[in-house]
Amino acid sequence: CVSSGVQAACRDSTVTQELLKEGFHRDLLVKAELGEDAGGCAVAARIHLPPGIYVDPYELASLQQHNLTKAVLIPDVIDVEAPEYSSTDLVLLLSLDPDPHCSHCFQASVPLHGRYQRPARREQHVLVRLDSPELLLCCYHGHLPGECWKPAGVAAPCPAGNITPCQWYSTAQRPAQEEPVLSVPVGLSEHTFLVCATTLLTTVLCSSLIFTATCRYGHF
C-alpha cells in the first residue's frame, strides 16, 4: 500500500499556466511544484494545444539552438499559415527548469501564437482555452519520489544529453483554479467585400510601382 506521506506528496503536486503579453503572439509560462524533492529527476509538462493555438517549429528550433528552451513538438512539422478551422491539435513536451530558490519547484516558458479564425457575424473575439498540462518525471537514478507516479506513453529523451528515449512517468496533480484563455480577434463577415477590394487595389498599386521602377532603373 502507499503510505500517507507519499499520498500527501502526490496530492500536493501542482502545475499552473499563465499567458503573458497581448494579441496573437503570447508567451506561455508553466510552473510546477512537486510534493517533495525531485533531485536527480527531469521534470516536464505535456501540453495539449487546441487548433486555435500553435507553436512555431522554426522559432522553437532557434530557441533550442541558443539553449533558451528544451521542447518536443508533436507533430514537428506544421503549417503556421493555416487558419484554425483547417488545423489539428498539437502536443508540446516542455522541459521545466529547476527553481534555484525552491528544491521542488520548476518552470519554463514558450512562445505561443493564435491562428486566424473563421469570420463571424457578431463576435469580434474567440476564446481559446488551454487545458491543464500533464506533469511528467524522468529520473536518471531510477528512483521516483513517490509511488503515485505511473509510466507515461512519452517517447522522448530526458533533457540531460541523452539522445535515446527514456521512461517518463506521470501523476495526477491538483488542477489550476482557472485555466488560461487566449482571446483571439475575429474578422466580421460583413467586411469581406471591403477587405477583398482593399487588398486587390493595394496589390495592383504595389505591383504597378514595382513594374514601373524595374522598367526605369532595372533589367528583366
- b/e string for 87-106 if b means 16 or more Cβ within 10 A? beebebbbbbebeeeeebbb
Burial of 3 (0-12, 13-18, 19+ CB in 10 A): exposed
Q: Say if residues 167 and 138 touch (Cβ distance below 8 Å).
A: yes
Q: Rounded mean pLDDT of the chain?
A: 79
Q: What was the pLDDT predicted at 162?
A: 55
Q: Lowest-pLDDT range, 37-41, 55-59, 107-111, 174-178?
A: 174-178
| Rounded Cα gap, residues 50 and 127, in angstroms | 11
> Which of residues 190 and 99 earns the better pLDDT score?
99
Q: How many residues does the chain have?
A: 220
Report the DSSP beta bridge partners of residue 90: 49
> Which of residues 69 and 152 earns the better pLDDT score?
69
| Arithmetic mean of pLDDT, 141-163 | 66
| Rounded Cα gap, residues 152 and 149, in angstroms | 9
pLDDT at 107 over 90: yes
- b/e string for 49-75 if b means 16 or more Cβ within 10 A? bbbbbbbbbeebeebeeeeebbbbbee
Name the DSSP letter for residue 121.
S
Model pTM? Answer: 0.75
| Arithmetic mean of pLDDT, 67-72 | 88
pLDDT at 27 over 80: yes
